[in-house]
A and B are shown apart, each in its own frame.
Chain A
Amino acid sequence: MIVQALKDQGVDTVFGYPGGAVLPIYDEIFLQNDIRHYLVRHEQGAVHAAEGYARSTGKPGVVLVTSGPGATNAVTGLTDALMDSIPIVVLTGQVPTFMIGNDAFQEADTVGITRPCTKHNWLVRDTADLSNVIHQAFHVATHGRPGPVLVDIPKDVQFASAAYTAPENARTSHYAPKTRGDADRIEELVALIESAERPIIYSGGGVINSGVAASQKLRELVDGTNFPITSTLMGLGAYPANGRNWVGMLGMHGLYEANLAMHDCDLMINIGARFDDRITGRLDAFSPGSRKVHIDIDPSSVNKVIHVDVPIIGDVDSVLGDALALWKSRGSKTRKDAVEVWWAKIREWRSINCLAFTQATKTIKPQHALTRLEALTKDHDRYICTEVGQHQMWAAQYLGFNEPHRWMTSGGLGTMGYGFPASIGVQVAHPGALVINVAGEASWLMNMQEMGTAVQYNLPVKQFILNNERLGMVRQWQELLHGERYSQSWSEALPDFVKLAEAFGAKGILCSDPDDLDDAIMEMLAYDGPVIFDCVVEKHENCFPMIPSGEPHNKMLLGEASTKGAIGTKGAVMV
């Protein structure tokens, strides 16, 4: 029944790990061939793999794990997916209904534990409800603002039989978030587009979640109006990095020109982003002179942090479609001259070239490694995942994303250990594509057991580790905020990554000389199988630009020279 429900939902891939409380489901899986099950090495890995699968396809990812420890191991992944609005469906086994509440072996209050980290969850106590609930789960995960859901299924409920409910007969009607934006507000947006002198479009992960068509409309809007566009970390690729109007990522480690444009604009159009604190910096100094429009499918995102003038609740695709149609019907007007002057200003900011770095002769700078990786892979059918830390920010800065669904990173939760299993999920979804996980050595170790999964299924994921032998981002904060007292931010006793790869039956490459870098990257690309690339980089490089926590956008640190004493004690309490 469960497998049937999954098939009827179009599922062909499940990431999971068996145990006593899910044996009946594993038995069903054994007896069929339509659904392929990928055995991970840790349940956290299963959830991140499902996230990678979902992010790179737009379809929900599916996870199957056992009760108790299986379920608790999934909690980090669920929280990650909730923060980044990723649709995943997690099925957990539970002890039989008659034992619930008795502290039975491997019993955990799974729905209780996961209530705050799922969009919704269910405990199914009756087999007659089971198929209906599974269909509801898919409906909730994928409608409105996407997110993770969990269905907890006691073992006796798995064993019993009952009539099957087909998806079209499932009760899903009550959950129907509004997708069409309010016409009056869309008219206000169009009027603002027509009259803005210093506009900026600020797009986010919501555009990606709204589907490929939404990215197309975004491009049409940007190209039609000639407005500059910046994006959050989660929104990269919705507008192409090689597009004419791209001003780069914004936020704490965003580009100088993007952040200054946000600060000085007179019209800010937020499309599917959420005014996260990594974006806004100090709230009372956030873009003080602008009218703000916010398009979001989730009413609770609007006016949560920043008060906006024109809130538009709806799906990005639908709202942009309506806005474009109206704007065109009114003659596709903008203040062309004023916008040109604004562009001149942006070009002036851009000319300081905030991402410039000098590659040394002896050691590889991490920025250089990524610049070469970009040059040598940009024409491939390429998907990039990352872990969390400096390397993540450098990847966002130095790699270019020209299509949506090509960039998988843990934004909201910032989960070290996300990238490797996510890359496995992406590779499963796109067997022929080049999938690279840009990693830090510390993050990568957090889920390194998934090497077993990569090798077992011959998934040729490339683990590109920028090895600075440091918890680099922590070290950077300690340097800037804690008087250079480097408490516990060394990566000590690191494994020999080449031997580690070989121990798993994969390929390992070590590169520490800038002169060898290109050849080593080519060797990685040429190898048909999983690779660990240990790229030994400069240990004390800092990630700039940086807006220190608690500072406004125009108080940006650009490089070493401007950092001394730049962060006050007030900023230090923020994360």
Chain B
Amino acid sequence: MAPLKIKKGTSKHSAYDLRDPHSEGLERHTLAVVVANEAGVLARVIGLFSGRGYNIESLTVAETDHRGHLSRITVVTIGTPSVIEQIKAQLGRIVPVHEVHDLTVEGPSVERELALFKVAGEGNDRIEALRLAEIFRANVVDSTLSSFVFEMTGTSEKIDAFAELMRPLGLQEVARTGVAALSRGTA
């Protein structure tokens, strides 16, 4: 038989950017899903993930285009390359979904998350917490004589790292927004 111009299972010529389809390695992808802002659309997206057994690491949603009634859902998910491709195709099938972008493969992107940390402590712990907050560029948004609330924006890793450091210093509660992401440069 004539050789195919494409190599079996390579990315460029497939329907999608398919990396090695047989790889069992897990990858973390950030997807931006632009949806019509109608009732139940978030339930459809979440129902897809739970119904088909996909992972959601983080999810944020808000209306981003009021005039066009469009919302942007940012989902961070983990799966093998073929599962990630399936997730994108399945998302694309939902009727009110207008666009699906895989920011992880579509070129460089920026990802940020906002988090609030409540840290209670006295004496040296309190001083140490403040000092670390400064290094991490976290702001104090509330303070009492025995507690602080810090606000920090950064990558998920940075937020994880800060939470780890705060733990022995009296970390009580963390609230995180989940990831918001955009591609770099002009699209």
Contact = CB atoms under 8 A, between A and B. Distances in A.
The finding on whether chains A and B are genuine partners in a shared complex, rather than unrelated, reads yes
Interface of A: 111-112, 115-116, 119-120, 123, 140, 145, 174-175, 184-185, 188, 191-192, 194-197, 266-267, 291, 298-300, 302-304, 307, 309-311, 313
Interface stretch (B56-64, B84-92, B115-123): B84-92
Given A112-B43, A123-B39, A291 B1 contact: yes
29 contacts: A111-B40, A115-B44, A116-B47, A120-B94, A120-B96, A140-B95, A174-B36, A175-B95, A184-B13, A185-B13, A188-B4, A191-B2, A194-B2, A266-B1, A291-B4, A298-B93, A299-B16, A303-B16, A303-B82, A303-B85, A303-B86, A307-B9, A307-B18, A307-B22, A309-B4, A309-B9, A310-B4, A310-B13, A311-B14
Given A192-B1, A195-B1, A266-B1, A300 B40 contact: no
Max chain A Cβ within 10 angstroms of own Cβ: one of B1, B2, B16, B21: B1
Given A120-B96, A184-B13, 12 more contacts: A115-B40, A115-B44, A140-B95, A174-B98, A188-B5, A191-B2, A194-B2, A267-B1, A299-B93, A303-B16, A303-B82, A303-B85
Given A299-B15, A303-B82, A196 B1 contact: yes
A114 to B, nearest CB: 11
A123 B95 CA distance: 15
Given A300-B92, A304-B86, A311-B14, A115 B4 contact: no
B92 A299 contact: yes
Contacts of A300: 86, 89-90, 92-93
B43 to A, nearest CB: 6
Max chain B Cβ within 10 angstroms of own Cβ: one of A111, A112, A196, A302: A302
Interface string B153-167: 000000000000000
B6 interface: yes
Nearest to A291: B4
A310 B18 CA distance: 12
A145 B21 CA distance: 25
A303 B51 contact: no
Contacts of B40: 111-112, 115, 123
B13 to A, nearest CB: 8
Interface of B: 1-2, 4-6, 8-9, 13-16, 18, 21-22, 36, 39-40, 43-44, 47, 51, 82, 85-86, 89-90, 92-96, 98
Main secondary structure on A side of the interface with B: mixed
A140 B51 CA distance: 22
Contacts of B13: 184-185, 188, 310
A115 B47 contact: yes
A315 to B, nearest CB: 15
B6 A188 contact: yes
B24 to A, nearest CB: 13
A310 B10 CA distance: 11
A120 B6 contact: no
A140 B94 CA distance: 11
Given A112-B43, A120-B95, A311 B15 contact: yes
A140 B36 CA distance: 15
Contacts of A299: 15-16, 89, 92-93
Contacts of A188: 4-6, 13
A41 to B, nearest CB: 32
Contacts of A309: 4, 6, 8-9
Nearest to B2: A195
User: What 3 A-B pairs come out closest when comparing CB atoms?
Assistant: A195-B2, A300-B89, A311-B15
